[in-house]
Amino acid sequence: MNKSDLIDAIAASANLSKADAGRALGATLDTIVKAVSKGDNVTLVGFGTFKSTKRAARTGKNPKTGAAIKIPAATVPRFSAGAGFKTAVGGKKKK
């Protein structure tokens, strides 16, 4: 499923126009990106948590030449799936 398919599904599920669903999805994604880039966590209970984590500097290897390269430290986004999402994907039924 791509973004266009997701917008179509949201529009059908929420009885919205495709334009309204697209704006709602865009605003949601923009808000999540802004919050995580500021260092805040975004938790959607049952779905998951978006957060930023720091990755330490490390030494890597150029796959073409085999030479060692330095990979600098970075702040990267991370998503942790919630229990409800894991259950839905895993196919287990709730008790």
- Spatial distance between the Cα atoms of 30 and 8, rounded to a whole number of angstroms: 19
- Percentage of the chain surpassing pLDDT 70? 96
Q: 51 with 76: CB under 8 angstroms?
A: no
* Stated length of the chain: 95
pLDDT for res 41: 96
pLDDT for res 54: 95
Mean pLDDT of 48-75: 95
Phi, psi of 77 (to 5 degrees): -75, 150
Q: 74 with 53: CB under 8 angstroms?
A: no
pLDDT for res 68: 95
Q: Over the stretch 8-27, which tens digit does the pLDDT of each residue have?
A: 999 999 999 999 999 999 99
Res 95 pLDDT > 60: no
